[in-house]
Structure 1
Amino acid sequence: MWNKTTLQSLVISNNLLIGKIPALICNLQSLGSLDLSSNNLVGMIPSCLGSFSRSLHILRLAGNKLIGNIPQNYAKENALQWIDFSSNKLCGQLPRSFVNCRMLEVLDVSHNHFNDSFPFWLGSLPNLKLIFLRDNKFHGAIKCPLKCTFPQLRIIDVSQNDFSGELSSEIIKTFKSMTLSNTSHEVHFKDDFYQWQQSLVDLSMFVFPMTNKGRVMDYLESQYFHFLVAIDLSCNKIYGKIPDIMGSLNRLVLLNLSNNMFTGSIPSSLGKLSNLEALDLSANSLSGEIPQQLTELTFLEFFNESFNNLSGPIPENGQLSTFQDNSFEGNKGLCGFQLLNKCEDRSKLPLPPTLDGDKDSESGSFFEFNWMVILIGYAGGLVAGLALGNALAGDVYRLLKRIF
């Protein structure tokens, strides 16, 4: 097989292949697609795989037992569009020569042992749409010390790592492709992205071989891929406030910030994410009330803000009223019909007295009492006056009779 220099596609995925990947594979210089995923291959990735073929556009080695570092020599002007090394035992740092993959659209290195900082330098790739770094040992802050743009990024999954620090507004601003200006652009975006996905490879290739799936993978496997726009930062050590500018990414379908150390209130700007279907803010230290603006998320299918420090009533109108108690549990100050802690009906409670109200009440009672005294006195005086008048009239009559 290694002598077939005109071979253009080699797909031997989902078998029981064992042993190492032979270096002779690099003789296949006409190869455009190489898929050895979901086997039992061991050893290191041949160092020639990054530069042996200028026509190679799909390289998938996922779901094996490969070890060591990724080859560092990715040649300039290579045609790689999809690199998938996920679910192996690879380690070290990501090769900086990935910046030579100017046509790269998908990079998946999830479920390995990579120990590196956030690869902000990938932001210079003009066509990169999907980044999966899930379940590794990436660390440090998620930021861009230099200018980066990520001009086409649709999905970024960096969950289950050791990222820390605050989530800056600057990195969110770089995700411009997640911002929608009007509805007509959204239709164009969905059609364009679906055509890209179909032209790259069949949809069945997107079923990633993983044992510990996350929310993003659930959506990928349910054929949401053609329009999925997602940010998954869950299971890290990110702290500080959730930036208000997150609400400007109105193409987002999924936002997962759970299992971090976020503090402060839930930004009301999240109510502007009109395409959002999944929002997970659970297991943080968020406080304050649930913004009423979240009731405007009419497409929300999954919602979780459990185990925070939230308080006040759960908004009863809109989508939030459709979720069960497990979406809100673990917030001692929260009340609502979904929880054992019911909210008091404030409309039926007596209004608390005010100082001015007490004075007015006392003044009115005193005024009313004075008038009652006056009326009683007037009535009594009238009766007494009439009786006295009768008596005096009789005496005057008898006196006048004696005189005359």
Structure 2
Amino acid sequence: FSHATRFRCHPEDKQLLDQLFNMTLDFDCCAFKPVGCNVNTSWIESLDISDDRITGTIPPVLGKMTNLIVLQIKESRSLVGDIPPAIAKLTKLTFLRIAFTNFSGPIPSWISQLKELEYLDLSYNKLTGPIPSFLFDLPKLKRLRLDRNQLTGTIPESSGRFRGTELYLGLNQLSGAVPLSLGRMDFEHIELQRNRFVGNPSHLFNNRSKSLSYIDLSRNLFDFDLTNVVFPVKNLYHVDLSHNAISGSIPEQAAEVPALSLFNVSYNRLCGRIPNGGQLQNIESYSYLHNKCLCGPPLSTKC
């Protein structure tokens, strides 16, 4: 996108912007900071509605800006009510971020119409209700952020159809078990922390997870034996399993993960010697505290 003033903003877009922001721009709107224009057509293709530039509700005229590819509505706590349905008409969107607002209500069903989406971020809002199944059927979606809302219910079985590599569901009120179908995905980054999940999520550490680099399952109600879990070794650097009810011992194989820089298993029910070698002795000792009977370096407790 270009913000260059040599490309005059399309007159139709100029009129829509004036209505959207309730102002009259007296300069080329392609030079307006929240806007990015296509250098060939001069149509607006990116729009950033941030920092309370619009308060209360977003005017329906937004839905007429049908050439938008990138839309960000963020850091606007004065925005309230449902996520604006006018966005449903913006079917060219590949990037949609609606974050750090006071939008509430359920995740809207019209998002299923945005078939070009590659990145969807609805984090840091006040959204409620379940995670809709259709989100995992968006054909091009690579990154899905629903973290830091008030979502309830379980992860739908349709999550196994998700084609993406990054999934953020942390800091909600989600419950139930992690679907086995989710273990078939090749995630790079997955966050489920601070929910009410139960059971055994160890299928997330499977041989298919060659790309897995970051996983956070902390502060849930997970209850499983860690002893025979096999960690992917290629890219994994961040594992947080703290504040659960995990039993067994730390697998010897965990010492074979070369990039591991965070491995937090504190506040569980683990026992036995912390495996020697690799990065496990370089991890801060607090990452092993408050277990049943873990011992050996870096803990001061001898075996």
TM-based fold match above 0.5: yes
Aligned positions of 1:187-226 closer than 5 A: none
Q: What is residue 201 of structure 2 aligned with on the other side?
A: 242
1:163 matched to 2:174? The reply is yes
Q: 1:77 to 1:114 in 2, by over 3 A?
A: closer
User: Offset at 1:2?
Assistant: 10
> What is the alpha-carbon distance in structure 2 between the residues aligned to residue 24 and residue 129 of structure 1?
38
Does the 8 A contact of 1:56 with 1:80 survive in 2?
Answer: yes
Write the distance in 2 (CA, Å) between the matches of 1:234 and 1:134.
Answer: 9
Counterpart residue identity of residue 155, structure 2: I
Counterpart position of 1:43: 56
Asked if 1:78 corresponds to 2:78, the answer is: no
The CA distance in 2 between the partners of 1:147 and 1:238, in whole Å, is 15
- Describe the SS at the equivalent of 2:225: coil
Matched with 1:231 is 190
SS of residue in 2 equivalent to 1:87: strand
Show CA shifts across 1:119-154 (max 9, x none).
32111111111111111111111122x586122x12
Q: 1:317 aligns to what SS in structure 2?
A: coil
Letter in 2 for 1:172: G
Alignment check: 8 A CA contact 2:129 2:152 kept:
yes
Q: Distance between the aligned counterparts of 2:86 and 2:111, measured in 1?
A: 9
Check the 8 A contact 2:282/2:298 in 1, yes or no.
no
Task: Note closer, same or farther for the CA distance 1:36–1:278 as it changes in structure 2 (3 Å cut).
Answer: same
- Match runs of 1:275-314 below 5 Å: 275-314=235-274
Structure 1 partner of 2:80: 67
Q: Which runs of 5+ in 2 are unaligned?
A: 1-7, 26-34, 36-41
SS of the residue aligned with 1:34?
Answer: strand
Larger fraction in strand: 2
Aligned with residue 5 of structure 1, among 1, 4, 12: 12
AA matched with 2:68: L
TM-superposed CA distance for 1:302, in Å, is 1.3
Instruction: Please state if 1:329 is matched with 2:295.
Output: no
Q: How do 1:117-128 and structure 2 match up within 5 A?
A: 117-128=130-141
Report the AA paired with residue 48 of structure 2. D
1:298-318 superposed Cα distances (whole Å, 9 cap, x missing partner): 111111111101001100111
**How many residue pairs were aligned?**
277
Percent of residue pairs identical? 30
Structure 1 position 116, deviation (Å): 1.9
Alignment TM-score, normalising by the size of structure 1: 0.63
Structure 1 residue identity aligned to 2:182? I
Corresponding residue of 1:52: 64
Give the number of the structure whose residues are more often helix, by fraction: 1
Which protein shows a greater Rg?
A: 1
Name the CA shift for 1:273/1:24 in 2 (closer, same or farther; >3 Å).
farther
Unaligned runs of 5+ in 1: 11-19, 179-228, 344-404
The RMSD of aligned alpha carbons is 2.9
Mapped contact 1:64–1:88 kept (Cα < 8 A): yes
Using the alignment, how far apart are the partners of 1:254 and 1:46 within structure 2? Answer: 39
SS of the residue aligned with 1:283? coil
8 Å contact 1:243–1:267 — kept in the other structure? no
Most deviating of 267-276 and 93-102 = 267-276
